[in-house]
């Protein structure tokens, strides 16, 4: 074998390339790495820095013209890909008093986490819900949705974080979209209908649900916060996660969305957590409080409304001097379905 020169191999590679062939032995190690090496990197967006640019966007373009007036939180290692992690998209959306964002639908699933402001609403499949800070709201795949802000002029702007499975759907080449016939879809159901039907650990007796997405599309923050507070009194806190809850689909007990897992967690004042890591890269939104997150080698000091990313298999630990509430989301349902999800608690 030592008679074969580098040149001979290079010549061979050149010739097989013309046949659209490639030698596996040159890339095998990269193709099956011994552990995940995420293309995305840890990153923190300080709300204090981002907010002025959002407000400026409000002066440059209307919600109607923009369709959705959003600043994408683009991972610096994935520029131009509208990706916050390798598999998920996040952006901050601004809607000013009196504005509307027209009705459309797409196969990408979306979640919203309301960051600041009151007076906005979203309509999903004919039911309207008022958006309050901290509310977790779902737009299922292929559901008609439009938004608006009914506050009178001069009132506060409303900002929420959008999370979508855009990179996943792009990878699968399964994206479709349509614009609505009218800017605002007709309201068919009284506000609160879905919560009345499904929000109390009971389900209307003859209900037949289609799809895998939760029939509850607004998980109000007041309820989530109360649940966290109660658990803090009743249970020992987890040394890594504090008190952490998963939003679930009440019909299945499984994830609220088929492609995105969403969580809410409370880190009580004085918490000094242990590191953990998992294969689902995660986007965190600070709902309340300030604290520290150590992500790999980096220390993020975060404040209310900041957003940060923990890539796959990078250890994260949290510490705080005051109560902190974190919302987070990841592609864990997809990984669990494929039998891939792993975590390690150090
Ligand atoms: C979308 O429909 C919304 O409905 C927000 O508010 C962000 C990003 C990409 C594609 C569609 C919305 C989006 C989006």
Query: Which of 262, 260, 249 has the alpha carbon at shortest distance from 199?
Result: 249
Condensed to tens digits (0 to 9), the pLDDT of residues 309-337 reads 999 999 999 999 999 999 999 999 999 99
Q: Is the CB of 69 under 6 A from ligand 1?
A: no
- 3-state SS of the chain? CCCCCHHHHHHHHHHHHCCCCCCHHHCHHHHCCCCCCCCCCCEEECHHHHHHHHHHHHHHCCHHHHCCCEEECCCCCCCCCCCCCCCCEEEEEEECCCCEEEEEEECCCEEEEEEECCCEEEEECCEEEECCCCCEEEECCCCCEEEEECCCCCCCCEEEEEEECHHHHHHHCCCCEEECCCCCCCCCECCCHHHHHHCCCCCCCCCCCCCCCCCCCEECHHHHHHHHHHHHHHCCCECCCEEEEECECCCCCCECCCCCEEEEEEECCCCECCCEEECCCEEEEEEECCEEEEECCEEEEECCCCEEEECCCCCEEEECCCCEEEEEEECHHHHHHCCCCCEEEC
Residue 314 has a pLDDT of 98
Query: 162 CB under 6 A from ligand 1?
Result: yes
Q: Whose CA is nearest to atom 6 of ligand 1?
A: 68
Q: Is the CB of 163 under 6 A from ligand 1?
A: no
- Beta-carbon contacts of 217 under 8 Å, excluding residues fewer than 6 positions away, are 124, 127, 129, 137, 138, 139, 140, 194
Which atom of ligand 1 is nearest the CA belonging to 146?
Answer: 4
Rounded to the nearest angstrom, the distance between the alpha carbon of 314 and the centre of ligand 1 is 28
Does residue 305's CB lie within 6 angstroms of at least one atom of ligand 1? no
Measured in Å, residue 61 CA sits from the centre of ligand 1 at: 16
Ligand 1 lined by 70 (C-beta under 6 Å): yes
Is pLDDT at 19 greater than 70 in this prediction? yes
The residue whose CA is least distant from atom 14 of ligand 1 is 68
Residue with CA closest to ligand 1 atom 7: 162
- Evaluate the CA torsion angle 284, 290, 293, 297 in order and state its sign: positive
Instruction: Give me the pLDDT at residue 61, please.
Output: 97
What is the Å distance from ligand 1's center to 124 Cα? 13
> What pLDDT, in 10s, does the model give residues 177-211?
999 999 999 999 999 999 999 999 999 999 998 89
Residue 167 and residue 109 in contact, taking contact as beta carbons nearer than 8 Å: no
Q: Which percentage of the chain shows pLDDT scores above 70? A: 99
Query: Is the pTM higher than 0.75?
Result: yes
Taking only the tens place, the pLDDT of each residue in 82-141 is 999 999 999 999 999 999 999 999 999 999 999 999 999 999 999 999 999 999 999 999
Identify the pLDDT of residue 2: 65
d(CA 111, ligand 1 centre) in Å: 9
**Average model confidence (pLDDT) for the chain?**
96
Closest residue CA from atom 12 of ligand 1: 68
Q: Is the CB of 197 under 6 A from ligand 1?
A: no
Which of ligand 1's atoms lies nearest the C-alpha of 147? 6
Q: Is the CB of 91 under 6 A from ligand 1?
A: yes
Q: Per-residue pLDDT for 230 more than 90? A: yes
């Amino acid at each position: 074998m030592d008679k074969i020169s580098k040149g001979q191999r290079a010549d061979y590679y050149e010739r097989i390339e013309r046949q659209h062939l490639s030698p596996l032995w040159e890339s095998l190690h990269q193709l099956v790495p011994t552990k995940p090496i995420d293309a995305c990197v840890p990153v923190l967006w300080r709300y204090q820095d981002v907010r002025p640019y959002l407000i400026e966007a409000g002066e440059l373009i209307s919600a109607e013209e923009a369709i959705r007036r959003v600043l994408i939180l683009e991972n610096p290692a994935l520029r131009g890909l509208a990706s916050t992690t390798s598999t998920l998209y996040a952006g901050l959306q601004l809607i000013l008093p009196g504005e509307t964002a027209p009705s459309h639908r797409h196969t990408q699933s979306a979640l919203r986490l309301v960051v600041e402001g009151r007076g906005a609403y979203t309509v999903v499949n004919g039911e309207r819900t008022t958006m309050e800070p901290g509310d977790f709201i779902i737009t299922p795949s292929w559901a008609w949705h439009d938004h608006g802000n009914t506050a009178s002029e001069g009132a506060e702007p409303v900002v929420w974080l959008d999370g979508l499975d855009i990179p996943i759907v792009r990878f699968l080449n399964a994206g479709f979209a349509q614009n609505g016939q009218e800017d605002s879809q007709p309201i068919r159901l009284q506000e609160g209908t879905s919560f009345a039907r499904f929000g109390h650990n009971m389900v209307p007796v003859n209900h037949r649900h289609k799809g895998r997405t939760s029939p509850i599309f607004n998980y109000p923050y007041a309820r989530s916060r109360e649940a966290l507070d109660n658990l803090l009194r009743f249970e020992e806190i987890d040394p890594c996660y504090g008190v952490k809850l998963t939003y679930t689909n009440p019909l299945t007990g499984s994830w609220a969305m088929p492609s995105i897992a969403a969580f809410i967690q409370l880190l009580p004042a004085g918490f000094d957590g242990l590191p953990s890591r998992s294969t689902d890269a995660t986007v965190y939104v600070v709902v309340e409080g300030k604290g520290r997150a150590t992500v790999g080698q980096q220390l993020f000091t975060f404040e209310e409304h900041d957003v940060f990313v923990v890539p796959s298999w990078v250890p994260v630990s949290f510490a705080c001097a005051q109560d902190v509430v974190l919302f987070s989301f990841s592609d864990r349902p997809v990984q669990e379905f494929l039998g891939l999800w792993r975590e390690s608690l150090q």
